[in-house]
Amino acid sequence: MVDEKGKNMKCLTFFLMLPETVKNRSKKSSKKGNSSSSSNSKLPPVCYEIITLKTKKKKKMAADIFPRKKPANTNTTAVQQYHQQNLNNNNTIPAPNWQGLYPTIRERNAVMFNNDLMADVHFVVGPPGGTQRLPGHKYVLAVGSSVFHAMFYGELAEDKDEIRIPDVEPAAFLAMLKYIYCDEIDLAADTVLATLYAAKKYIVPHLARACVNFLETSLSAKNACVLLSQSCLFEEPDLTQRCWEVIDAQAELALKSEGFCDIDFQTLESILRRETLNAKEIVVFEAALNWAEVECQRQELTATIENKRKVLGKALYLIRIPTMALDDFANGAAQSGILTLNETNDIFLWYTAAKKPELQFVSKPRKGLVPQRCHRFQSCAYRSNQWRYRGRCDSIQFAVDKRVFIAGFGLYGSSCGSAEYSAKIELKRQGVILGQNLSKYFSDGSSNTFPVWFEYPVQIEPDTFYTASVILDGNELSYFGQEGMTEVQCGKVTVQFQCSSDSTNGTGVQGGQIPELIFYA
């Protein structure tokens, strides 16, 4: 008797020998002089309909596929069981006729993902000490990647049963294989960069594009500097541009992030050179010192003043120390010890002397970013009676068609002479506070608007409504807006306005307070 495993092997051998059998029959028929033998020996092409596999958990598919109807005779429990088993490394499916459980070539192909069944190559992935042995199928891999095709079927192909890949992380390699086998994109924040590297190395462009899109949507001031260095390495200009937009607008947040200390020296230089960096120079200086301390650890140096200056090298002179406020220099940079005595003396003379000494430091202030103002009223007025505040909230909702960074609001002031106001400003999305600040501003009695700033600019995504709110305390005889517009074109950005349920003091689209949004784009 032959056991179940033996039956499977016989069945597999039969299908593998089928082309040879046809070939032999063709030869026998030609010897008999059968003129139709050549045409009969050719097997007709087989066409497969590629259909999305419906699983219990919806997964993002790489291709846009029409959904299929579930076959009546499909054993759902068995399919889910084998699918879960397929996710485990090197587990061969033992059941006979497993192919019958899957109606499409996509699903049957997905069974082979990370499976030893019929594997004709293995990869030892990861650095020494952290490797993982993963099975592969040359035909599937060659169809999914031109690099694998050249590796297995090209002119210089080597017939190896095991291939070592020390420069790719196992989790990233598995993510790439899952795309090639299953046509599914499964990305995570902690592995997306490594997956992008793998996709670039093996020329899997659609997966690489998905990785870049993932990074762009998750981009923030906390990771912008790290992603900047990676985007340059991967030669992704769109991602690089997006990183610069975030770093410019939210420079102080980006420079204070932990990720800033992880960048390489070239990226450090490019950031310190940046003309449009929207940050105080003392923040730039402190960030550079923090980077130098971490760099000393990377180079296994003691984090002394001398070593910090050594690892900074000429990048130190890209910090525009002479453009700092005098207090910032005297209480910060001058006492840091990173400057020589002569440098400290020359910079003090630069601040105070009529004849200024020559400096190695850049002495021209950065241009920063020029804020744009979106004004939503066509006119303003004031009444003989008072616009009463008394702790109530003026609020408006808005949405933009491009990603911007809200830096603050422009607010009206007193209509009966100069006055001081206290303003609590807030920016929310679906009830979640994204930014807020409590500050005072002075109005001169004119109908002008007066800026009130958030501590840091807030990143605003397109096509989503946000709520801008302010609670004012001050002279209640003030200006207010009239003839409000529901849509305003401000440069290349279109802003839409609608009334907010948070507004309890009369402000709406047609009139009221919060006349301006101040933003960077």
Domain 98-218 has CATH 3.40.50.620: no
Q: Give the list of residues 6+ apart from residue 125 with CB closer than 8 angstroms, or none.
A: 131, 132, 133, 134, 165, 168, 169, 170, 173
Smallest CA-to-CA distance from 515 within 408, 416, 420, 417 is with: 408
Q: What region does 411 belong to: left with phi over 0, alpha with psi -120 to 50, or beta?
A: beta
Angstrom distance (rounded) from CA 307 to CA 388: 60
- In the chain, domain spans: 98-218, 238-352, 372-520
Cα gap 78→350, rounded to integer Å? 79
Q: Are strands 162-165 and 372-375 parallel, antiparallel or unpaired?
A: unpaired
CA distance 106 to 374: 51
Rounded Cα distance, 394 and 476, in Å: 13
| CA dist., res. 40 & res. 29, Å (int) | 10
As beta bridge partners, residue 432 has: 429
Torsion sign, CA atoms 20, 22, 23, 27: positive
Report d(CA 310, CA 301) in Å as an integer: 10
Report which residue type is found at 434: L
* pLDDT at residue 47 in the model: 36
Beta carbons within 8 Å of 335's beta carbon, 6+ residues apart: none
Q: What is the pTM of this model?
A: 0.73
Could you give the CA distance from residue 384 to residue 386 in angstroms, rounded to a whole number? 7
Q: Are 458 and 517 in contact (CB under 8 A)?
A: no
Rounded to an integer, what distance in angstroms lies between the CA atom of residue 108 and that of residue 393? 60
What angle is formed at CA 470 by the lines to CA 385 and CA 398, rounded to 5 degrees? Answer: 110
Residue of 264, 483, 512 lying closest to 393 (CA atoms): 512
The CATH class of the 372-520 domain is: mainly beta
User: What letter does residue 61 receive in the DSSP assignment?
Assistant: B
Contact 70, 127 (CB under 8 A): no
CATH number of 238-352, picked from 1.10.1740, 1.25.40, 1.20.1440, 3.30.70: 1.25.40
Check residue 90 and give left, alpha or beta (phi > 0: left; psi -120 to 50: alpha).
left
pLDDT at residue 22, rounded to an integer = 37
Question: Alpha-carbon distance 86 to 358, whole Å?
Answer: 69
Partners of 480 in the β-ladder? 381
pLDDT of residue 28: 42
Residue 510 to residue 521: CA distance in whole angstroms: 26
Amino acid letter, residue 290: N
Tens-digit pLDDT string for the chain (521 aa): 444 444 444 333 333 333 343 344 444 444 444 444 333 434 444 333 333 333 333 333 333 323 333 444 444 454 444 444 445 545 555 567 888 888 988 888 888 899 988 899 999 999 998 899 999 999 999 999 999 999 999 988 888 889 999 999 999 999 999 999 999 998 988 889 999 999 999 999 999 999 999 998 889 999 999 999 888 888 889 899 999 999 999 999 999 999 999 999 999 999 999 999 999 999 999 999 999 999 999 999 999 999 999 999 999 999 999 999 999 999 999 999 999 999 999 999 999 999 989 999 999 999 999 999 999 999 988 876 667 787 899 999 999 999 999 999 999 998 888 999 999 999 999 999 999 999 999 999 899 999 999 999 999 999 999 999 999 998 888 899 999 999 999 999 999 999 999 999 999 999 999 999 999 98
According to DSSP, residue 371 is labeled P
- Whole-number pLDDT of residue 83: 45
Model pLDDT, residue 278: 92
Residues 6+ apart with CB under 8 A from 203: 145, 146, 147
119-131: string of b/e by CB count within 10 Å (b at 16+)? Answer: bebbbebbeeeee
Side by side, the strands of the sheet bearing 419-429 are 432-443, 419-429, 466-473, 394-400, 493-499, 487-490
CA 225 to chain centre: 12
Q: How far apart are CA 451 and CA 409, in angstroms?
A: 6
State the burial class of residue 371 (Cβ atoms within 10 Å of its Cβ: 0-12, 13-18, 19+): buried
